[in-house]
Structure 1
Amino acid sequence: MSNDETHDLDASQAADRRALWWVLLINVGQCLVGVAVGLWAASTAVIGAALDNLADASVYGVSLYAVGRAASIKVRAARLSGWLLIGLAAMLVVEVLRRFFGGEAPVGPAMMAMAAINAALNIVCLRLLKRHRGEDVNFKASAIFTNNDSIVNLAIVLSGALVMWWGSNLPDLVLGLVVAAIAGNGGREILAEAREADEKAHSETT
């Protein structure tokens, strides 16, 4: 490898790390604020979105570790990301069931405001990750996570409006289950990407 190629590779990896650091910090902030707002507003959906941000932050941390490392390490990191998201989905289902048997109606305006802020931050994250899409299994995982977040936040805005209209926690609980399904499917997609990357790596070495 020539010096120019080595310089380009190092520059690309440095850009990858910067992008991941930014989305990592943004998601940590979203998680902390989201948990506080979700507990105050008694919203399963907002708490679920905050836990999703925590899982995202963990994935970005794993992806940050994988930048510039061997393909096998990247695949293992992506698998960890996938199982982490599936675990989050299971935890959220348990929380929805717990609140179904006892819980007050959430604060609709707080749900909508938090979702709007998160949606704006998700756009920032997607722009940071956009130029890497399709190049690396961990960046694919990151893009899947952020796209899922965008869908969830749009749904939370709708759920908040329904909570205000009906004066019931049912829309929030239903959305909690939807968030869990989206998270579980995202985990499945990431595991599939990791499997494809692993198969491709094996075929190239044989």
Structure 2
Amino acid sequence: MPDTVITTRQLRRTVLLVAALNFAYFFVEVGVALAIGSVSLFADSVDFLEDTAINLLIAFALGLSAHRRAVAGKAMALIILVPAVAALWQAVAKFGDPSPPDPLSLALTAGGAIVVNTVCAVLLARMRAHGSSMSHAAYLAARNDVIANALIIVVAGITVWTLSGWPDIVLGLVIVGLNATAAKEVWEVAEEERLAAKALAGEDID
């Protein structure tokens, strides 16, 4: 029993630290994204806000029953879709004027995001063994963020070469796809947890 209490406490501390890191860098990215008019960076900045919400929800839900954790997991699957909607909105807004964002600012900000997200991914990697949809959601979010950050740096290089804003817009749509895939995976894991909780309680599986 003491080991379980210690483990839960450690998990809570970890996700709260990850939430703080994400919330801090959100302001950095959204400020730069708005200043240079980058769709991909804007979508990624909202991603940091999404990760903040997910990890705060994990910290709150650690003491809940398996059924309620499953419900929380499905809520997080919906939260993951928020950056996708934001990226779509920003991309559509730039269709009429696809001016390129500043490549240097794009690359440097994405580089900083990689550092933050890598630290978060390392902190959260061990949570996968916790076996809940919440830990799965946190890890998937951190993993996808690192991928998206690397792609933003690639887009910065392409922008230097093409002097076009379309690579940035296209990447914004790619980030939409990454988050939609993560949301689907988290929803499926949460559903498995819900069914397991019903089976444990001796209820019929619908």
**2:123 alignment partner AA:** L
Matched, 1:120 2:120: no
- How many angstroms apart in 1 are the aligned matches of 2:41 and 2:112? 12
> Which ranges of structure 2 fall in alignment gaps of 5 or more residues?
none
After TM superposition, the runs of 4+ consecutive aligned structure 1 residues lying more than 3 A away are none
> 1:9-28: CA deviations, max 9, x gaps?
11111101110011000110
- How many angstroms apart in 2 are the aligned matches of 1:199 and 1:86? 24
Count of residues in correspondence between the two structures: 201
Matched, 1:8 2:3: yes
Residue matched to 1:36 = 31
Q: TM-score, normalised by structure 1?
A: 0.94
Q: TM-score, normalised by structure 2?
A: 0.94
- How many angstroms apart in 2 are the aligned matches of 1:184 and 1:152? 13
Alpha-carbon contact 2:44-2:83 (below 8 Å) kept: no
Residue matched to 1:56 = 51
Residue matched to 1:192 = 188
> 1:158-186: CA deviations, max 9, x gaps?
00111111111010000000011111111
- How many angstroms apart in 1 are the aligned matches of 2:162 and 2:93? 21
Alpha-carbon contact 2:50-2:82 (below 8 Å) kept: no
> Which ranges of structure 1 fall in alignment gaps of 5 or more residues?
none
> 1:105-148: CA deviations, max 9, x gaps?
10111111111111111111111112111322201100000000
- Tell me the percent identity: 23
**2:119 alignment partner AA:** V
Question: What secondary structure, in the 3-state scheme, does the structure 2 residue paired with 1:164 have?
Answer: helix
- How many angstroms apart in 1 are the aligned matches of 2:4 and 2:63? 9
> 1:52-106: CA deviations, max 9, x gaps?
1111111111111101221122111111111111233123112101111124210
- How many angstroms apart in 1 are the aligned matches of 2:29 and 2:82? 19
